């Protein structure tokens, strides 16, 4: 009689099927109203984070507000060229969803409205509750909540303290967020990583000292496109 073979533990199926990233300040360094592909610089850890997700069978997409179009500061062609550059450096992504409207246009796509999330989820063939949105400001998290998706905040120097306090899940960097996604929910509020969470408020995505918030917001004329 053959001895019973040990039964290998079955790893639970990850309920997360797709991750949608904010673009500026999350995947790439935030250049206000950028229409120049040559100025696109991935944030620290972006390449590895996206690679890990794809290797884990997780779909990836980008959801981005680009109100510079409505303001006449950049054109739809400018946005497309910058997006193509992001795809060259980090992609290709499975879905792109872009809102070109301004804050007062009353659209349903501009974050914190859920339209971009819902459209991208449909594009990926994924129900919203199987989607994680990773972004750097409260509008990203609110859009995820309204869409019925999960949200992970990765704070940057422009993230307000109240936005961090209100977020359900907070990661110190993009790579930590990606690793948490691969483990699947439920997650704790503060996701552990090699980089202290407090460091996200004092350095840029590239690790250089952050500029003064007041000066950055003055340059942007608004906190976010």
Active site residue ranges: 22, 24
CB 117 within 8 A of CB 20: yes
Q: In 3D, which of 149, 148, 128, 153 has the Cα closest to residue 138?
A: 153
Q: What angle do CA 169, 14, 121 make, to 5 degrees?
A: 75
Q: Which of helix, strand or coil describes residue 132? A: strand
Query: Helix count (H) and strand count (E) of the chain?
Result: 7, 5
Closest listed residue to residue 63, CA positions, set 114, 129, 130, 138: 114
The CA distance from 147 to 61, in Å, is 15
Q: Walk across the sheet containing 131-135 and list its strands.
A: 95-99, 59-65, 18-21, 131-135, 150-153
């Amino acid at each position: 009689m053959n001895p019973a073979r040990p039964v290998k533990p079955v790893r639970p199926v990850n309920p997360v099927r797709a991750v949608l990233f904010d673009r500026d300040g999350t995947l790439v360094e935030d250049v206000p109203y950028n229409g120049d592909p040559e100025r696109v610089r991935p944030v620290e850890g972006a390449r590895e984070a996206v690679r890990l997700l794809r290797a884990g069978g997780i779909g990836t997409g980008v959801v981005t507000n680009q109100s510079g179009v409505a303001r006449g500061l950049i054109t739809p062609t400018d946005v497309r060229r910058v997006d193509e550059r992001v795809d060259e450096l980090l992609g290709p992504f499975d879905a792109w969803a872009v809102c070109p409207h301004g804050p007062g246009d009353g659209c349903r796509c501009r974050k914190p409205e859920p339209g971009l999330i819902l459209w991208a989820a449909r594009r990926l063939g994924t129900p919203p509750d199987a989607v994680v949105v990773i972004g750097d400001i409260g509008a990203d998290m609110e859009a995820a909540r309204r869409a019925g998706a999960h949200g992970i905040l990765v704070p940057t120097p422009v993230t307000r303290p109240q936005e961090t306090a209100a977020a359900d899940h907070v990661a110190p960097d993009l790579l930590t967020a990606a690793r948490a996604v691969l483990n699947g929910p439920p997650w704790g509020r503060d996701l552990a990583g090699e980089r202290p969470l407090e460091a996200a408020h004092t350095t840029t995505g590239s690790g250089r000292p952050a500029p003064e918030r007041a000066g950055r917001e003055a340059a942007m004329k608004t906190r976010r496109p």
